[in-house]
Chain A
Amino acid sequence: MTGDIYARGRRFPANPAWGWLVLAGAAAASAAAGLLARRANFPGLSDFTTVFFSILLEAFPFILLGTLISSAIHILVSAETIARILPRSRLTGLLAASAAGFAFPICECANVPVTRRLLAKGLPAPLAVTFLLAVAIVNPVVLFSTWVAFGGNLGMVLLRGFLGMGIAVLTGWIVGFLPIGRQPLREASRGGAVEERECECGHDHDHECDCSQDNDHHHDHEIERDANPDADVGRTGKRGAADIALEILSHAGAEIYSVGRYLILGAAVAALMQTILPRAALVGVGASPLLSVAALMALAYLLSLCSEADAFIAATFAGYFTPGAVMAFMVYGPMMDVKNTLMLLDGFKPRFVAVLFTLVTAACLGAGLLVNLLVAGNAA
C-alpha cells in the first residue's frame, strides 16, 4: 500500500533516512550557531539563550510531573471512577475544580497534560476548563508568592485568588453551554491516550498511526509483541506493580514529546519577547484604565512567566500601571500565555482553544476594568 505519505496523521515521509537527515542537519546547524554565539559577542543573542534555557529548566520538572500524573491517571483511573466521584451539582463541581489547586499545586505547564487526560477520561468540559484555568493561580505556592511580592498585602492575595477562581468558574460554566464544549479534544486525543497517537510507548493498542514500520497502514502493536511473546502482560492481563510502573513511564516518555515540543517553541517565543520588547514602552498607557489592562495582559501572554514568579514582576509594575492592570497581569498570565496556548493546540481543537482564549481574555479584561473602577471609586 503506497498511500499519501503526507496524509493527515503523517508527520514525515516514509523513508527513514529523511528523519535521520533532519536530525543530523538540525544538530549541525544548531552546533554552528552555538559556536558562533560563543565566539562572537552578541548580547541580545546571549540574553535570548539564557532566558530561553531558564524557562526550559524551570518548566521541565513540572512538565515531567504533569505527564507522570497524566499517565498515572490514564493507566490507573477508569472513566467510571471519574464519573463516580464527580459531584452531582454542577456548581459544586465547578467550585471543587476551581479549588483543586490546594490539593494539586501544579503550575500552568503541568496542568495542560493533566487536563487533557481528565477530559479523555470523561471529566465534563466545564469542570476540566475550570481546573485548567484555576489551578495555576488558586494554589498555596502561588498565593504565598503573591503575599511575599506585595509586601504581605493580604488584599492582593485574596483578590488574585478570588478573581482567578471566579473567572475559571465563569468560563467553565459558559463552556458548558457551548456546542464546542461537548467535545473539546482533537479526535486523536480522545478515548485513548494522547501518547498512543504519538506511538512511542510500545504497548498494545489498536489505532491508526504512522509510528514504526515506515508504511501507511492501520496496524496493531500486537504484531510487534510477536517478537517478544514473554514480554509484559499488557493492559488486559494481570499486572504487577512493576508492570504498571513501567507502563506509566512508557506513556510518560511518549507524552513528554507531545507536550514538550510546544513548550520549547513557546519558550523560544517568550524568550524572544523578553529580549526585544522594552517594558518601558508600555508605561505610556499605564494610566489609562482600559489600555493599561490590555497592555499588561498582552505582556503577560507574551512573557509566559511561571505563576510562582509573576507576582514579583507584577509588583514592579505597581507604580507604573493601574491596579486593575497589575491584577489582570497576575490573573491572565497563568491562564493564557504563548507556551500553554501552543500546548493546548496540540490536544484540543483549534476552535475550542480560540473560544477559550476569547472567553478568558474578555473575562480578565473585564476584571481588570472592574478593579480600576472600584479603586477609582474608593479614591473619590
Chain B
Amino acid sequence: MRKTIIAYGTAAWAAILLAWALWMLRLLASGEVLLYLHPRMKIFVWFAVLGFLVLSATTAWSALRGRGRRAPRAGYAVFLVPLVLAIAGGPRALGADAADTRLMRISSPAAPLTPSGPSAGRTLESILASTAPGSVLFFEDDFHSAMAADMAATPDRYEGRRLSLVGFAHRVLGLPADQVFLTRLLITCCAADAEPVCVLASWPSAAELKGGEWMRVTGVAKRTAYRNPYTGKDSSISMILVDEVVPGEKPASPYLYPGQF
C-alpha cells in the first residue's frame, strides 16, 4: 500500500473556498452585506456560504487523500487577490461620487413596490392621507423613492406641504448655485445597479456646498420649472424651499431598498 501524499495545491484551493465562505458569513453576521446587496438577496448569500463550505470540505477531503494538485495553480490568485483586498480594505458603502456617473431618477415610471417589515400594509397614499396639511411630512426610507417620484410627477399634490428628508447634496450641471439635489442611492439587487433618487431643494447657503455632504433639510414644497441638463427638456417639478438644515445627519442605512418582488 502506497503512502498517501497530501495534494497541497488542492488543499490550498479548499482553503480559498473556505475563506470566501467565512468572509461572506462575516458580512451576513455583521449586517455589512447590506452595503453591497438588497436585503432580499441575503438568502442567496446564505446559499453561497453553505455551498462554498460544502465544496471546501469535499475538496479538502480529496486533497487529504492525495487527489488533485500538489502545487497551487497560478489562477488561484484570481480568487485570492479580491478576498485579501476585501478583508484588508474593509466594507464601504457607495459614496456620493457614485451619483455623478449615474443618471438621476427625478421622476420614475416604476410601480410602487409593497414594503415589507414594519411598513407592510402601508402605502404612499395612506401616509399622505394621514399627515395633516400643516404637519411635517417625513420621507421614510420605505417610501422615499416613491414619494420623490410622486413629487416630480404630480407636484400639485405636494404644493405648500412641509417636507423633511435626509440625503446627500448632489450638484448637477446647470443648476443655480442655491439649488442642489438631496439624493439617496436606490439599490434593487446590488450596489452595481444603484441609482440616484433626487429631490430638488433650494436655500441660499446651498451655494457653499461642494457636494456629497449628508444633511437633513426641512421646508415647504413649491412647484418650479426645471430644465433637464442632459435632454434640454422643460418640466414642472416640486422643489423644497428649505428653512431648516441639520448638517451631518445620516440615515440608518446609506441606501434605499425598494420593497420585495
Contacts and interface: CB of A to CB of B under 8 A. Distances in A.
Given A253-B17, A309-B188, A35 B95 contact: no
A317 to B, nearest CB: 7
Interface string A262-274: 0011001011001
Interface stretch (A41-49, A351-359, A363-371): A41-49
Contacts of B77: 22-23, 26
Interface of A: 11-12, 15-20, 22-23, 26-27, 29-35, 37-38, 43-44, 46-47, 49-58, 60-62, 64-65, 68, 144-145, 147-153, 199-203, 211-214, 221, 224-229, 231, 246, 249-250, 252-254, 256-257, 260-261, 264-265, 268, 270-271, 274-280, 283, 286, 303-306, 308-310, 312-313, 315-320
Contact of B12 (A23, A268, A276): A23
Interface residues on B, range: 35 or more
B124 interface: no
B100 to A, nearest CB: 7
Contacts of B36: 50, 53-54, 57-58
Interface in B23-43: 24, 27, 33, 35-37, 41
B230 A30 contact: no
Contact of A211 (B52, B68, B95, B109): B68
A380 B152 CA distance: 28
- The 9 A-B pairs with the shortest beta carbon distances in the complex, nearest first, are A202-B67, A34-B88, A16-B71, A202-B62, A34-B89, A309-B189, A54-B191, A26-B77, A54-B190
Contacts of A320: 103, 230-231
Contacts of B191: 50-51, 54
Contact of A308 (B52, B89, B189): B189
Given A151-B110, A270-B192, A317-B103, A19 B71 contact: yes
Given A58-B37, A145-B261, A150 B10 contact: no
A144 B105 CA distance: 21
A154 to B, nearest CB: 11
Contacts of B90: 34, 38
Given A22-B74, A61-B48, A64-B47, A283 B190 contact: no
Interface string B193-232: 1010000000000000000000000000000000010110
Interface stretch (B78-86, B154-162, B238-246): B78-86
A150 B109 contact: yes
A318 B109 contact: yes
B101 A19 contact: no
A272 to B, nearest CB: 11
Contact of A153 (B10, B72, B109): B109
Contacts of A276: 101
Contact of A47 (B5, B13, B80, B98): B98
Contacts of A53: 36, 82, 86, 91
29 contacts: A11-B74, A17-B71, A26-B80, A33-B88, A38-B90, A43-B96, A44-B97, A50-B35, A50-B93, A51-B94, A51-B98, A52-B82, A53-B36, A53-B82, A60-B45, A60-B48, A150-B109, A151-B110, A202-B65, A202-B67, A224-B67, A249-B54, A253-B55, A257-B76, A279-B101, A315-B110, A319-B107, A319-B231, A319-B233
